[in-house]
Amino acid sequence: MKKQMRVAMYYSNKDVRLEKMPVPEIGTDEILMKIQASGICGSDVMEWYRCEKVPLVLGHEVSGTVEKVGADVVKFKVGDKIVASHHVPCNTCDYCHHGDHTACKSLQGGTNFYPGGFAEYVRLPAINVDRGVYHIPEPVNFEEATFAEPLACVLRGQKKMNIQHGASVFIIGVGISGLLHVSLARAMGAGKIIAADISEYRNDMAMRFGADLSLFSDKDLVKNLIKANDGKKAKNVIVCTGALPAIEAALEVVDKGGTVLFFAPTGEGQTLPFSINDVFWKKEVTLMTTYAGAPADHIAALELIRAGSVPVEDMITHRYGLGDAQKGFDLVAGGGDSVKVIILPQK
């Protein structure tokens, strides 16, 4: 009989069950990873995105140790402390050749590890082992290392925006992604950073992690953001919520020649009508999105964590074992007083 492991099986945000399944077998060019920590991402609670795929084991912000290596694996050995990215580029398509690795078909769902990060063990396929597994540098711990993937996504977004040193930044929505944007913008030398959210708790957290001011997001948000920025609009606006009022506000508060980064997805099927003349022609505004992070972004994110430039460990507010994963999903899906929730599969 095959060795069994525990997993947190996802059926819905309100139905996450502790179940057992066989420990994955690995091939000659694969790795079996023993997961020590796994972060719950906001995308993990997007039910509309998951409903046709359930039941499944979620979790992609993982760190742990090498439990077993295939005979052909040379870069890693048993016992190595590693962090793994779940999606990796092919490095051969036109997108990859032009530096658009996150548009690569392979990265956008063509690769994944099995069964998912909310499990005691996970199989890392050959392509992930080749270009999506990284040694954890000292003194970074397992919990800190789980931030490599979300911070890589944030880093890629800000690189695409090309935020100039000393430029103002508005960040609307300061859940974990927004807080990472706040902290990274501060570390990279942005000017005035003004955050906004509907949660007083998250606004307080934004101040803790580097915002100069954090405002309550209400009907007066546009007016208050501009007032807080000495009567000026912002050259850089980052939207970390899918709420349409926040998106509409971002289009109003961005300055001429500025950039809006839509970092968070909206609800299923939502669209946004706006005046092309007012937003593009008259203001010469750039609207952009970003999806995931490339391998180079993961490496850079790990270095930022190692250097303490982004204090990710302080963002962890809750830790649960696999048996209590439902509590973690309740917190993240409910949008309550939490920032980062970590699942510890070995507990």
Same domain assignment for residues 131 and 258: no
Q: In this structure, are 170 and 137 located in the same domain?
A: no
Q: Average pLDDT of 115-144? A: 97
Do 12 and 61 fall into the same domain?
A: yes
Residue 110 has pLDDT above 80, yes or no: no
Same domain, 133 and 261: no
* Pairwise CA distance, residues 148 & 81, whole Å: 14
User: Which residue range(s) make up the domain with 182?
Assistant: 154-289
Query: Do residues 199 and 108 both lie within one domain?
Result: no
Residue 78: inside a domain, yes or no?
yes
By DSSP bridging, strand 316-321 and strand 340-344 are: parallel
Same domain, 92 and 204: no
* pLDDT tens, residue by residue, 9-55: 999 999 999 999 999 999 999 999 999 999 999 999 999 888 888 99
Q: What is the pLDDT of residue 188?
A: 96
120 and 178 in one domain? no
The answer as to whether 17 is a domain residue is: yes
Cβ atoms of 84 and 113 within 8 Å: the answer is: yes
172 with 257, same domain: the answer is yes
Give the Cα separation of 295 and 272 in Å (integer).
32
Residue range 239-265, pLDDT digits in tens: 999 999 999 999 999 999 999 999 998
Flag whether 327 is in a domain: yes
Residue 303 in any domain: the answer is no
Domain with residue 207: its CATH number is: 3.40.50.720
Q: Give the pLDDT of residue 182.
A: 98
Count of structural domains, the chain: 2
Answer yes or no: is 301 within a domain: no
Query: For residues 41 and 12, is the Cβ–Cβ distance under 8 A?
Result: no
166 and 117 within one domain: no
Q: Residue 85 maps to which CATH number?
A: 3.90.180.10
What is the structure's pLDDT at 48? 84
* Residue 165 belongs to some domain of the structure: yes
DSSP annotation of 164: P
Tokens of 173: 């929505």
Q: Can you state the percent helix, strand and coil of the chain, rounding each to 5?
A: 35, 25, 40
Same domain, 162 and 279: yes
The pLDDT tens digits for 258-311 are 999 999 988 888 888 788 888 788 889 999 999 999 999 999 999 999 999 999
pLDDT band at 203, cuts 50/70/90? very high
Please report whether residue 58 resides in a domain: yes
pLDDT digits (tens, 9 = 90+) for 205-222: 999 999 999 999 999 999
For 322-338, how does the pLDDT look when each residue is reduced to its tens digit (9 = 90+)? 999 999 999 999 988 99
Report percent pLDDT > 70 for the chain: 100
1 has a pLDDT exceeding 80: no
Instruction: Please report whether residue 300 resides in a domain.
Output: no
